[in-house]
Amino acid sequence: MSEDSHLKNSIDLVAARAKLTGAGAPRLWQSLEGLSGTPQFQEFSEYEFPPSAAKGNSEINRRDVLKLMAASAALTGLSACTKLPTEKIVPYVRPPEEILAGRPLFYATSLFEAGVATGVLVESHTGRPTKIEGNPEHPGSLGSSDIFNQAAILTFWDPDRSQSVVYDGRLSTWTDFAAELGNRRTLKGAGMRILTKTITSPTLGAQMRALLAELPEAKWHQYEVCSGDSVREGARLAFGRPVNTVYHFEQADVIVSLDADFLTCGAGHVRYARDFATRRDLSAGPASKLNRLYVAESMPTATGAVSDHRLPVRSADIDDLARQLAAASGVAVPPSANASPKIPSAWVEAVGRDLAAHRGSSIVIVGEHQPPLVHALAHAMNAALGNVGKTVVYTESIEASPVNQLESLRELVNDLNSGQVELLLILGGNPVYDAPADFDFATALQKAKLRVHSGLYQDETALLCHWHAPAAHSLESWSDGRAFDGTAGIVQPLIAPLYDGHSAHEIIALFTGDAGKSGHELVRSYWQSQRPEKDKAFEALWETSLHDGLVSGTALPVISVAPHADFVSLGRTAAASGDPSAIEVVFRPDPSVGDGAFSNNSWLQELPKPITRLTWDNAIMMGPATAQQLGVTTGDYLTLTLAGRRVDAGAYLVPGHADNSVTLHLGFGRTRGGTVGTGPGFNSYLLRTSSAPWIAPGAQIAKTGKKYSFASTQQQYNIDLDGHPVEEESSAAVGHGGEHGRDLVRIATMEEFSKDPSFAQNPDDEKNKGLTIYPGFKYEGYAWGMSIDLNRCVGCNACVIACQSENNIAVVGKDQVARGRAMHWIRIDTYFRGNLDNPEMYYEPLPCMQCENAPCEYVCPVGATTHNAEGLNDMTYNRCVGTRYCSNNCPYKVRRFNFYLYSDYKTPSLYGMRNPNVTVRSRGVMEKCTYCVQRINAAKIRSEEENRLIRDGEIITACQSACPTEAIVFGNINDPNSKVAKLKAQTRDYGLLEDLNTRPRTTYLARVRNPNPEIHS
């Protein structure tokens, strides 16, 4: 991915149209086959392989037997014992422009989370989108991305996606669908309701307004689980209107997060993580000015884990904490109705002082699920602390129509129940599954005369609708949308819709007389109408916008607003947490599958969640103290009753979780979630009511006596009540030197760091380096190495999914994960220090260390893993016979083995998704992180052809490019000026288990905390 292909202007529309119309799903394959001989074709030759049946279950049936015998035979073929199959070359008839077989193209576009757009670059191999990277030009990305962006590619190619228009369970056509809806225009919209998700798309917004103008009696409702209602309401409370808040973490010295996981979720989190990390940079040594992060939260989050002070409090008590803090920072506010004894006043005072000491350079930020009042308090605090205009700025809302979505949905449900609804049009979203339980949306829905649904999947909602039309995925449709700061990004398709998908634009157009207009025309004409530029000038603007992925200068202007004086009286106080010993239930979107929109995405399902390392499940998460008091432990199957509603689920102990509080993650227990999404976990929406959508007091928990087995990638999570394993394993891991310290994570406080800048150095390591009877190999030319900054890493997992996507890593399923066979090439180890109730938490991303004295190499009997001249530890799959000795002998245990045929050779649509430059591993083969050798080779070939050396930063590994905090840096350590070499020169640099003299090429920069000396945690 050299610069030029990055910035390739790929927007000759004629060509684009031609290409896309030329590449409808079936023909796409044909033209792809034309590239046989390019690595792409290798995906297709897997037609030779019969499909895999081995997904962990050890039962077999006759057909599998035959299939797999054939498979083995075919695999043997790879060892050149049978003839290669005859292949066909099917070239284009008329070649599309720009496409150069074997060279990827990158297109800039945007992806959405809760309506907020994040800019991405999508890698396309001859018309197939295969990989998603961040868009460096886009303010919401700056070149980085998150797990949802990365995993979107799998959702796009998901074979379970809805593939055709359905009417009353029978196949229908888009034409009929269009006709049916078109007829409704005459009714002036009487009894017509449209339910959408949050919309930031200017075009769609305009279309909706046009529609409402044309059909005045129609009503537009919005509902999305994580739409940030209380954020909106908080702003309304404070400022009288729902303004949008933008934070500047790069300028904040002190950050107080009240239950906000701003580093891994919510609008702009990718950007915020970057800004935050710039203040965790220690390249200036002890002189560097670190920020300080206080987090008060119930469930430990990624953000909580990197904080300098974490205070576990019940979410309901945050209200009280906020009031105390507000008072401390000079906001007139009555004390909470329900003061919580759990809040240490010393802590509050210390934080208050720290805030006061950093007027104008501090931030108070509140979690989406906190009640509006707390948000309002935060606004007041930021104002009182003089942060507004500096670290906190306000803009108009980025939404097309900012409404209280819960109320909006309530209104719709009322109309439905009173039978006023003739036509209900649901564009995206799955309210039957995720609407509050007390709405009983399923029943209400069926009172609508005609129910129309458009979505990516035929989900729970589609099932209850007359019409269902497959929606087009962002990667195959035209649209636009605003980023966290209002910057408008253009969404352009990389490929014609795989299935008969149509965007919301096209559906709304059916009512606004634009019927038949393509998404492209709609979006383009909207912008044409908005911009002063005309004709040629607009043409140019349009092309640059498409190329950059955003319309420059569309970031919303900063506005100045002042909070009401007496907003407190206006705001309802928080849901009374009642007696502090009563157990509260906190609902949270799942860190991996969100509100359920991603539940059919196996990458995300199998992704170990931050802190808990849990996969394929949600659980009743609780702290050790609460567990002790309830007499339960991880794996106990419990019954949780909340206001007459109940669910049964497994208990999962989380060190550092607040007492008398349990966290339930949403997004599981789907009944029509697709082959992957249906099944895992339990549906916590069944407990979630509109009166207490996020924090619900008074839960009753009882044991069922049954057990539930979880699949976690870190054994230590099977902790006993005394939490012994955690103590043992963590103390074995953390802590310096010592007989029982393995010194895996090296930590100091800022104080210790300034006293001893080289605290991370272990004298023994140096001693060991010399201990070899062989003369070391001299690396002329390149010597690849990696540096991982533990001080920057926020454990967001983006690297894990990015790696999975780049390297065609297979998914193995819950059973296999439980058996310790997860395949991730990079994992994020989590360790704890201190007591169970409020431990310090540490992340350690662990890819292959690419040791110079690699223990794996000399034990391989066939030389399938060998050292190359640039210090890479090559893994040659086709030579591997699977003795697994290398894995045994790897002290870091980063090698992954295909115990079964994990790669899916069965599903054609997945062929399209795979990276053509990486072999798809078959059964019985060892694999591991390669430093993205395919990218290294590509860059080398390019540079050699141009008679130059590879530039520093020209090769970016998948994990590195995804990392929002730039914690991972890769490069040539032979070049003293390379970024990585400079990082490795820092005093914080240390190698893992260096006392084994493995000489790892991947080294770490030690973690430095910046605690407030006034607080002793």
Query: What one-letter code names the amino acid at 929?
Result: C
Is 827 a binding residue for another protein by CB under 8 A? The answer is yes
- Classify burial at 130, counting beta carbons within 10 Å of its beta carbon; exposed 0-12, middle 13-18, buried 19 or more: buried
Q: Write the CA distances from 20 to 23, 128, 924, integer angstroms.
A: 5, 11, 39
Task: Return contacts of 54-61, CB within 8 angstroms, 24+ apart.
Answer: 54/900, 54/901, 54/902, 54/923, 55/812, 55/813, 55/816, 55/900, 55/902, 56/812, 56/813, 56/815, 56/816, 56/819, 56/900, 57/815
Closest approach of another protein to the CB of residue 496, in Å: 16
Query: For residues 576-595, which are near another protein according to CB under 8 A?
Result: none
CB 606 within 8 A of CB 812: yes
Query: For residues 13-42, which are near another protein according to CB under 8 A?
Result: 30-31, 34-39, 42
What residues are paired with 244 via a beta bridge? 395
Closest approach of another protein to the CB of residue 19, in Å: 13
Tell me which stretch binds another protein (CB under 8 A): 188-196, 457-465, 976-984, 992-1000.
Answer: 992-1000
Of 68 and 647, which CB lies nearer to another protein in the complex structure? 68
Is 213 a binding residue for another protein by CB under 8 A? The answer is no
Closest approach of another protein to the CB of residue 663, in Å: 23
Is 80 a binding residue for another protein by CB under 8 A? The answer is yes
Of 78 and 190, which CB lies nearer to another protein in the complex structure? 78
Tell me which stretch binds another protein (CB under 8 A): 305-313, 329-337, 405-413, 740-748.
Answer: 740-748
Tell me which stretch binds another protein (CB under 8 A): 378-386, 541-549, 833-841, 915-923.
Answer: 915-923
CB 145 within 8 A of CB 133: yes
Q: In the chain, what's the furthest Cα-to-Cα distance?
A: 89
Is 183 a binding residue for another protein by CB under 8 A? The answer is no
C-beta neighbour count of 594 within 10 angstroms: 22
Which structure tokens are listed for 170?
Answer: 């029978």
Q: Phi, psi (5° rounding) for residue 209?
A: -60, -45
Tell me which stretch binds another protein (CB under 8 A): 528-536, 619-627, 673-681, 818-826.
Answer: 818-826
Is 740 a binding residue for another protein by CB under 8 A? The answer is yes
Is 76 a binding residue for another protein by CB under 8 A? The answer is yes
N-terminal to C-terminal alpha carbon distance within the chain? 47
Of 862 and 985, which CB lies nearer to another protein in the complex structure? 862
Name residues whose C-beta falls within 8 Å of residue 818's C-beta, 6 or more positions apart in sequence. 709, 710, 711
Which structure tokens are listed for 840?
Answer: 């310090």
Of 70 and 537, which CB lies nearer to another protein in the complex structure? 70
Is 830 a binding residue for another protein by CB under 8 A? The answer is yes
Query: For residues 658-697, which are near another protein according to CB under 8 A?
Result: none
Tell me which stretch binds another protein (CB under 8 A): 61-69, 347-355, 379-387, 1007-1015.
Answer: 61-69
Name residues whose C-beta falls within 8 Å of residue 735's C-beta, 6 or more positions apart in sequence. 741, 743, 833
CB 223 within 8 A of CB 229: no
Of 720 and 1014, which CB lies nearer to another protein in the complex structure? 720
CB 682 within 8 A of CB 710: no
Tell me which stretch binds another protein (CB under 8 A): 246-254, 378-386, 389-397, 723-731.
Answer: 723-731
Tell me which stretch binds another protein (CB under 8 A): 1-9, 223-231, 822-830, 961-969.
Answer: 822-830
Sign of the CA dihedral with 60 first, then 61, 62, and 67 last? negative
DSSP H/E element including 42: helix 40-44
Tell me which stretch binds another protein (CB under 8 A): 261-269, 409-417, 642-650, 829-837.
Answer: 829-837
Of 704 and 868, which CB lies nearer to another protein in the complex structure? 868
Is 61 a binding residue for another protein by CB under 8 A? The answer is no
Tell me which stretch binds another protein (CB under 8 A): 177-185, 306-314, 408-416, 728-736.
Answer: 728-736
Of 58 and 560, which CB lies nearer to another protein in the complex structure? 58
Closest approach of another protein to the CB of residue 942, in Å: 9
CB 129 within 8 A of CB 104: no
Q: Say if strands 244-247 and 392-395 run parallel, antiparallel, or are unpaired.
A: antiparallel
Task: Return contacts of 439-442, CB within 8 angstroms, 24+ apart.
Answer: 439/409, 439/410, 439/413, 439/690, 441/409, 441/413
Closest approach of another protein to the CB of residue 486, in Å: 40
Residues in contact with another protein, counted by CB under 8 A, come to a total of 118
Sign of the CA dihedral with 244 first, then 250, 251, and 257 last? positive
Query: For residues 834-853, which are near another protein according to CB under 8 A?
Result: 844, 846
Q: Write the CA distances from 659 to 257, 311, 313, 504, 625, integer angstroms.
A: 19, 11, 7, 45, 6
Of 182 and 855, which CB lies nearer to another protein in the complex structure? 855
Of 91 and 419, which CB lies nearer to another protein in the complex structure? 91
Of 91 and 516, which CB lies nearer to another protein in the complex structure? 91
Tell me which stretch binds another protein (CB under 8 A): 82-90, 561-569, 749-757, 788-796.
Answer: 82-90
Which structure tokens are listed for 610?
Answer: 């931050």
Query: For residues 888-907, which are near another protein according to CB under 8 A?
Result: 888-889, 891-893, 895-901
Query: For residues 857-886, which are near another protein according to CB under 8 A?
Result: 858-863, 866, 868-869, 872, 874, 876-885
Of 513 and 863, which CB lies nearer to another protein in the complex structure? 863
Per DSSP, the three-state class of 93 is coil
Cα 1 to Cα 7: distance, rounded to the nearest angstrom: 10
Closest approach of another protein to the CB of residue 769, in Å: 16
Of 148 and 900, which CB lies nearer to another protein in the complex structure? 900
Q: Phi, psi (5° rounding) for residue 297?
A: -155, 165
Name residues whose C-beta falls within 8 Å of residue 723's C-beta, 6 or more positions apart in sequence. 624, 653, 655, 836
Among 3, 4, 14, 93, binds another protein (CB under 8 A): 93
Is 89 a binding residue for another protein by CB under 8 A? The answer is yes
Closest approach of another protein to the CB of residue 191, in Å: 47
Among 6, 7, 51, 92, binds another protein (CB under 8 A): 92
Is 566 a binding residue for another protein by CB under 8 A? The answer is no
Name residues whose C-beta falls within 8 Å of residue 162's C-beta, 6 or more positions apart in sequence. 455, 456, 457, 458, 462, 468, 470, 471, 499
CB 834 within 8 A of CB 1011: no
Among 79, 173, 414, 671, binds another protein (CB under 8 A): 79
Cα 485 to Cα 554: distance, rounded to the nearest angstrom: 9
Of 71 and 556, which CB lies nearer to another protein in the complex structure? 71
Is 831 a binding residue for another protein by CB under 8 A? The answer is yes
Is 1008 a binding residue for another protein by CB under 8 A? The answer is no
Is 771 a binding residue for another protein by CB under 8 A? The answer is no
Residue 699 carries which DSSP code? E
Closest approach of another protein to the CB of residue 93, in Å: 4
Query: For residues 918-977, which are near another protein according to CB under 8 A?
Result: 918-920, 923-926, 930, 933-934, 937, 941, 944-945, 947
Of 703 and 893, which CB lies nearer to another protein in the complex structure? 893
Among 8, 342, 645, 821, binds another protein (CB under 8 A): 821
Q: Write the CA distances from 712 to 306, 614, 818, 826, 842, integer angstroms.
A: 21, 4, 6, 15, 17
Give me the helices (H) in 549-596, please. Answer: 567-570
Q: Phi, psi (5° rounding) for residue 768?
A: -65, -30
Tell me which stretch binds another protein (CB under 8 A): 221-229, 386-394, 619-627, 887-895.
Answer: 887-895
Is 74 a binding residue for another protein by CB under 8 A? The answer is no
Closest approach of another protein to the CB of residue 412, in Å: 48
